[in-house]
Amino acid sequence: MSVPLALPRWADLVLLPAVCLAVALAVAAGVVALVGQSPPEVMVALVHGAFGTLRGLSYTLYYATTFIFTGLAVAVAFHGGLFNIGGEGQAVMGGLGTGLAALYLSASLPAWAMLPIMLIAGMLFGMLWASVPAYLQAYRGSHVVITTIMFNFIASSILVYLLVNHLRPKGNMALESALFAPSAKLPGMQQALAWLGVEWPASPLNLSLVLALMACVAVYLFLWRSRAGYRLRAVGSSASAAQYAGINAKHQTLIAMAVSGALAGMVGMNEIAGVSGKLILEFVGGAGFTGIAVALMGRNHPVGILFASLLFGALFQGGAEVAFDVPGFSRDMVVMLQGLIVLFSGAMTYVIAPLVAGGLRLLPGVSGARRG
Amino acid sequence: MALCDFVTVMRAGQVVQELPIAAATMESLAEAMVGRKVQMGRLDGDVHQAGEVLLSAQELELCDALQVLRLSNVSLELRAGEIVGIAGVSGNGQSELLDVLSGLLAPSKGELTICGQVFTPAYWLDPQTARKLGLAHVPEDRHARALVMDFCAWESAVLGYESLPSFSRGPWMRIDAMHQATVDMMERFDVRPRDTALLSSKFSGGNQQKLVLARELGQTPKVLLVGQPTRGVDIGAIEFIYSQLRAMRDAGCAVLLVSSELDEILALSDRVIVMNQGRIAGELDIADCTEAGLGLLMTGASQ
């Protein structure tokens, strides 16, 4: 029997993640000090790099956009009781769909038609890629964790094969497709805000951020307001109770993975339609795996995922700045910091939670913490 | 009663009675525990008027994955306005019978007629169809089946009924209507605490069971399948649950009661079917039932 945690809701949602983050930062500060750097200096450089300038903030938000997509993808599957490790591969295939649509159609279609087609193609490819492991899980009992990992490798091999043998323009040595026509370019934030008369520095940040926010709202409505989401969560929480209720668990497995894959498939809109303007090799860059950490930290809730994405976006951007500004500080230190955050906000939550609960009990006036 | 020399009764955190066991009776202890007179046994003059056959099962046979025969040649009829008790030592096919009749498991042989609709193993009943036909099922295991433990009370309170027109609008749930229905259920069945947002797992066993009964009885079913309705439930709630089941019977519902408590079977049933090793070992009218006679049938000794 585990000890029931008696944390009030606000502490569970805000205080606990904050404490976990603080502990992770403290440990990271120790490591930074050990390698002979000044923790305060690194910290200031990191925060300034991520949020200190509009340009830095734009990069932070640009990275966060991709993490929102992959984080939501992991969360939806999780609510269906599935651990989708294949966000990476689904994002690769989604980007391939987005890119293929752009390559073949962008010359003849205007932007208002081209961009939605690219979005739908990306979602569809991600969905189809996720549905194979989903089918194998539902009807053949192959564990989805294993199959999605393997599908990551297959997806990246397919992309390499297509780029090397088919999509690379003749005479081009770089592993990338031809440039799309301008109609396949998702407007950048600088351009979009200029329409509104707001000045914004040039950055990779683009309208995908709006798409990501809409996806957050849509996932919330789907999971907690729709009957389909209710059934999905019922299967994820208790397969036997769902069976009793007459819910087909196999169908829910397919639905959860399809939605998950579609969300991961939107990554291409940010990276390909928004930034590169052509199909490139490493456009996902591990974001599918970072999405697992994001979902873990964001408690599989869209609002939490939004903040966790922002945190990881800030680490990416701030970390790059620190590696640039502070001599002798390698980018690997930032990866270590991410690892610590995942460790403390995920695995160590249940070690820290009783301490937080104990601390709260010492405070006067918070005795309402005990519930039920 | 069998082991102790002295008994202390506590209620709501206070000692209400202390006395030597010789001075205590079952009834007096129950009364001290609940704080009022408790009617646990059979009601005097409890007569019923059985009506038309609402559920009829013919020669059900079920093999499990290991090819063990779980049900063999089980035939039974449920009529409107009667409670049929299934007595038996646990594990003699009662759970499987409930699963088959509620559509959770398809048998290998047999036929089932519910409210005029016929089902065969090739096209067996499923839980959703069962609900549409007016069959409600209070499962034996409320933790694994009847409730989703991680769901709020209001979400568990509509489990299986989330697609009712009153609870849905297009693809969306009508959350306000679901909350209101849960408030009503909690009021009618005295579920405590009256907190529709509390997690299902945070309620006590008795209150969870009352919530399940409120849900299943609330849709005025024609056929009610009940498994172990009072397992792990406190004595005050047991009395209440008994009265609710009798009220369903009196309203014309056909009730099938599976219980491992012989006292419960005897207190509620109008007719008793005894199961032993997946077969029906005997069927008795309640007037002909004695604990000794049922015990012999349950252990297969009388064969």
Give the residue extent of every domain in chain A: 60-302
Going by pLDDT thresholds of 50, 70 and 90, the confidence category of residue A367 is very low
What is the chain A residue with the closest CA to B197?
A372
Phi (first) and psi of residue B40, to 5 degrees: -100, -35
State whether B139 and A244 contact (CB < 8 Å). Answer: yes
- Is the pLDDT reported for residue A1 higher than 60? no
Cβ-Cβ pairs closer than 8 A, A with B, add up to 70
Residue A273 CA from chain centroid, whole number: 17
Q: What is the mean pLDDT of residues A278-305?
A: 91
DSSP B101-169: HHTSS--SEEEEEETTEEEBTTB---HHHHHHTTEEEE-S-IIIII--TTSBHHHHTTTTTTTSGGGEE
**Tens digit of each residue's pLDDT (9 = 90 or more) over A166-191:** 999 988 888 899 999 999 999 999 99
- Smallest Cβ–Cβ distance between B148 and the set A227, A238, A371 belongs to A238
pLDDT at residue B123, as a whole number: 92
Rounded to the nearest integer, the mean pLDDT of chain A is 90
- Interface probe with A: pick from B135, B148, B225, most Cβ of A within 10 Å: B148
- Smallest Cβ–Cβ distance between A230 and the set B129, B173, B195 belongs to B173
B247 to chain A, minimum CA–CA distance in Å? 25
**3-class SS shares of chain B: helix, strand, coil, % to 5:** 35, 30, 40
Distance set, CA B82 to CA A157, B273, B283 (Å)? 67, 13, 14
Phi (first) and psi of residue B277, to 5 degrees: 50, 45
Going by pLDDT thresholds of 50, 70 and 90, the confidence category of residue A21 is confident
State whether A372 and B173 contact (CB < 8 Å). Answer: no
Low pLDDT (below 70) residues in chain B: 44-47, 302-303
Strands B172-173 and B279-285: unpaired
Interface predicted TM-score of the whole assembly (ipTM), two decimals: 0.89
Domain A60-302, classified CATH 1.10.3470, yes or no:
yes
- Is the pLDDT reported for residue A8 higher than 80? no
Distance between start and end Cα atoms, chain A: 17
Going by pLDDT thresholds of 50, 70 and 90, the confidence category of residue A327 is confident
For A40-49, A113-122, A326-335, B177-186, which range has the lowest pLDDT when averaged over its residues?
A326-335
State whether B144 and A240 contact (CB < 8 Å). Answer: yes
State whether B162 and A227 contact (CB < 8 Å). Answer: yes
pLDDT at residue A214, as a whole number: 97
- Is the pLDDT reported for residue A369 higher than 60? no
pLDDT at residue A365, as a whole number: 57
Is B168 an 8 Å CB contact of chain A?
Answer: yes
Dihedral (CA of B213, B216, B220, B222) sign = negative
- Smallest Cβ–Cβ distance between A245 and the set B127, B144, B149 belongs to B127
Going by pLDDT thresholds of 50, 70 and 90, the confidence category of residue A145 is very high
- Is the pLDDT reported for residue A368 higher than 80? no
Q: Degrees (nearest 5) of the Cα angle A205, A210, A211?
A: 105
Q: What is the mean pLDDT of residues A315-326?
A: 87
Cβ–Cβ under 8 Å, residues A293 and A341? yes
Going by pLDDT thresholds of 50, 70 and 90, the confidence category of residue A132 is very high
State whether B145 and A225 contact (CB < 8 Å). Answer: no
Going by pLDDT thresholds of 50, 70 and 90, the confidence category of residue A103 is very high
State whether A227 and B126 contact (CB < 8 Å). Answer: no
What is the chain B residue with the closest CA to A241?
B145
Residue B122 CA from chain centroid, whole number: 28
B258 to chain A, minimum CA–CA distance in Å? 17
State whether A244 and B128 contact (CB < 8 Å). Answer: no
- Is the pLDDT reported for residue A7 higher than 50? yes
The fraction of chain A above a pLDDT of 90, given in percent, is 67
The fraction of chain A above a pLDDT of 70, given in percent, is 96
| Residues of A contacting chain B (CB within 8 angstroms) | 225-228, 230-231, 233-234, 237-238, 240-246, 371-372
pLDDT at residue A364, as a whole number: 64
State whether B168 and A240 contact (CB < 8 Å). Answer: no
Structure tokens given for B259 = 């219980």
**Beta partners for B271?**
B84, B285
Say how many C-beta atoms besides its own lie within 10 A of residue B214's C-beta: 21
pLDDT at residue A299, as a whole number: 86
State whether B148 and A244 contact (CB < 8 Å). Answer: no
Cβ–Cβ under 8 Å, residues B127 and A243? yes
